[in-house]
């Protein structure tokens, strides 16, 4: 079709402009005047809008929170909503993370998949529609967000000034189509430590994890032991049975124990090894006198343990559309005054927050453990017969000659923040999901194919 021919003609330009925006380090920084998320995201937005203007599109910058390129006429508009901000690059790159170097048909850089590459593919998809002279009955906006990785605060700002699209997608997930995103809730379970007298073996403090939505790969506990050898011997027995990576360091009567696990995203806890729960499981094998911190650890072991489905907490929800609830215990900390853990739960799309909280609150009765700092995102679900789902299925099948099956995920995308859109691509079935990982790359052929798929999707939604 004419659209695909136009994209092939712009292939080199698509690649070079994608490289241009990838070279901007757009990690959230300190807010500055006129730059609510720091210099990097503002610079990336300016770059995207300049590229859009050079392609002949009208552009709007909403105070460096968010901006868009617009094409066409009509009261209603269709949107492609992507983001230009990226997570920190981290270590372990074989090519500089903001060099956008091409090797073996791949562009390597932070943001190639998440989400600059797909956003540029959508922009050039719209350009192909414009070049082909195709008639649209709705306006089209390619919307450039700048805060998706750290809160999506720009979407609320946008919706105060603009009405939402009537349909659209975010190119920030997987193919074929994500029609369901689980509900997400996170909260702290906290116990005030009034009785700290634990006898000859005392838990002085523990600390592990960095974020509720990451499987913790480190945790440590400080003990004061009348006989440290007993602790060390117990640990040797425990690690020989479990294979867990836990080591002890003894200095006089002080014993520091460090547990090492394996990190993973909180929506996929089965891919990680929870260092906190490994350590708590070991502590359960030691003999303590009854005290508040020991009671707290016992409660966590008995009601969570190594489980990732919430069964012992009574929240093991499941449905046909999105599968089982997932549970991640991401943070644990105790000092002189209190102990707490932070949980991140992702529950099925047909369930509600009450389905999670009612049984959980029943489990907490009589424990003196409080549930605080509750955060919540409702599930997102488009039924299979929804017109948006049907349209994107048709496009995907036509452009790839593959069946457009439907997916539900534990992660969250812009689709939860902006009405009437769902996640569509850019990662093809079987492709590497390198979001947030070192050596993130996009295959050049995938970048071009995404542009074609997105162009046809835009056309079908706006014609």
Q: Residue 305 is encoded by which pair of tokens?
A: 């343990």
pLDDT bin (cut points 50, 70, 90) of residue 357 is very high
Closest CA to 184 of 340, 80, 322: 322
Encode pLDDT of 422-439 as tens digits: 999 999 999 988 888 889
Query: 433 catalytic, yes or no?
Result: no
Report the C-alpha gap between 172 and 121 in whole angstroms. 12
Q: Which of 28, 115, 148, 149 is flagged as catalytic?
A: 148
Report the C-alpha gap between 340 and 235 in whole angstroms. 24
Report the C-alpha gap between 302 and 294 in whole angstroms. 12
Encode pLDDT of 144-198 as tens digits: 999 999 889 999 999 999 999 999 999 999 999 999 999 999 999 999 998 877 7
Encode pLDDT of 45-81 as tens digits: 999 999 999 999 999 999 999 999 999 999 999 999 9
Q: Residue 362 is encoded by which pair of tokens?
A: 């029943």
Q: Residue 47 is encoded by which pair of tokens?
A: 């770059």
Three-state SS letters, 266-289:
CCCHHHCECHHHHHHHHHCCCCCC
pTM to 2 decimals?
0.83
Strands 218-225 and 201-208: antiparallel
Domains (range + CATH), the chain: 2-182+380-462 (3.40.630.10), 184-377 (3.30.70.360)
Query: 148 catalytic, yes or no?
Result: yes
Sign of CA dihedral 75, 391, 82, 18: negative
**Which residues lie below 8 Å from residue 385, measured CB to CB, with a gap of 6+?**
none
- Beta partners for residue 183, in sequence order: 347
């Amino acid at each position: 079709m004419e659209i695909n021919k136009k994209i092939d003609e712009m292939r080199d330009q698509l690649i070079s402009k994608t490289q241009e925006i990838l070279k901007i380090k757009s990690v959230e920084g300190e807010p500055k005047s006129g730059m609510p998320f720091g210099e990097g995201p503002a610079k990336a937005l300016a770059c995207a809008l300049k590229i859009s203007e050079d392609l002949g599109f009208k552009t709007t910058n909403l105070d460096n929170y968010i901006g868009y390129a617009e094409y066409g006429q009509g009261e209603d508009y269709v949107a492609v909503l992507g983001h230009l901000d990226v997570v920190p690059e981290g270590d372990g790159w074989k090519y500089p993370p903001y060099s956008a170097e091409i090797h073996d048909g791949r562009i390597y850089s932070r943001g190639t998949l998440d989400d600059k590459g797909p956003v540029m593919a959508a922009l050039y998809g719209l350009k192909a529609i414009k070049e082909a002279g195709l008639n649209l009955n709705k306006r089209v906006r390619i919307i450039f967000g700048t805060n998706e990785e750290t809160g999506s605060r720009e979407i609320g700002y946008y919706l105060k000034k603009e009405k939402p699209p009537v349909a659209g997608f975010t190119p920030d997930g997987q193919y074929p189509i994500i029609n369901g995103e689980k509900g997400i809730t996170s909260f702290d379970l906290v116990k005030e430590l009034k009785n700290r007298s634990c006898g000859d073996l005392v838990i002085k403090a523990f600390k592990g994890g960095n974020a509720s939505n990451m499987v913790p790969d480190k945790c440590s506990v400080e003990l004061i032991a009348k006989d440290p050898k007993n602790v060390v011997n117990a640990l040797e027995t425990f690690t020989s049975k479990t294979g867990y990576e836990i080591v002890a360091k003894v200095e006089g009567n002080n014993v520091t124990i460090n547990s090492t696990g394996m990190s993973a995203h909180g929506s996929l806890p089965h891919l990680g090894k929870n260092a906190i729960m490994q350590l708590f499981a070991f502590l359960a094998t030691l003999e303590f006198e009854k005290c508040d911190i020991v009671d707290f650890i016992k409660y966590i072991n008995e009601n969570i343990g190594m489980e990732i489905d919430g069964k012992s907490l009574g929240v093991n929800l499941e449905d046909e559309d999105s599968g089982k609830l997932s549970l991640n215990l991401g943070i644990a900390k105790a000092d002189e005054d209190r102990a707490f853990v932070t949980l991140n739960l992702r529950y099925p799309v047909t369930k509600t927050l009450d389905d999670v909280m009612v049984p959980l609150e029943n489990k907490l009765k009589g424990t003196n453990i409080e549930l605080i700092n509750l955060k919540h995102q409702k599930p997102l679900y488009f039924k299979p017969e929804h017109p948006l789902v049907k349209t994107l299925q048709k496009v995907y099948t036509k452009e790839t000659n593959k069946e457009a099956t439907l997916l539900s995920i534990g992660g969250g995308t812009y689709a939860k923040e902006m009405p009437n859109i769902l996640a569509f691509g850019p990662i093809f079935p079987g492709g590497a999901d390198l979001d947030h990982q070192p050596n993130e790359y996009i295959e050049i052929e995938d970048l071009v194919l995404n542009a074609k798929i997105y162009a046809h999707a835009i056309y079908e939604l706006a014609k």
